[in-house]
Amino acid sequence: MQTIRKQIISLLKNHEMNARGISKALGIQEKEVCDHLEHIRRSIKTQKKKLMIHPFHCLICNYVFKDRKRLSRPGRCPQCKQGHIEAATYKIV
């Protein structure tokens, strides 16, 4: 568990990635990535680091999920009600 989180942290220090990219790189489920990211987001504060989130956005109407608290993928856009959502990307700075 700890090791996976360290691997995610080192990936995100070097690359901006989405949850699917991280899941492929580490061979874990996309949902697990979201759980780890939630933990990492809190834990790296003590190291004066920050998880930068380029938020989910709608490919149809460009709605940006900028106030979304959860890291899981939204099902559909609240504005146009379509399900074509571009993944959020993450980087640690």
Q: Report, in Å, the least distance between residue 90 CB and Zn ion.
A: 22
Contact 77, 63 (CB under 8 A): yes
The distance of Cα 66 from the centroid of its chain, to the nearest Å, equals 12
Is 80 a binding residue for Zn ion by CB under 5 A? The answer is: yes
Residue written as token pair 């890291």: 71
> Least distance in Å: CB of 92 to Zn ion?
29
Q: Does 58 bind Zn ion (CB under 5 A)?
A: yes
- In a 13 Å sphere around the CA of 56, the CA atoms on its Cβ side amount to 20
Interacting stretch for Zn ion, rule CB under 5 A, among 30-38, 44-52, 54-62, 68-76?
54-62
CA within 13 Å, CB half, 58:
15
Binding mask 10-39 for Zn ion (x = CB under 5 A): ------------------------------
Are 80 and 64 contacting, i.e. CB atoms less than 8 angstroms apart? no
**Interface stretch with Zn ion, choices 15-23, 29-37, 49-57, 76-84 (CB under 5 A):** 76-84
Residue ranges binding Zn ion (CB under 5 A): 58, 60-61, 63, 77, 79-80
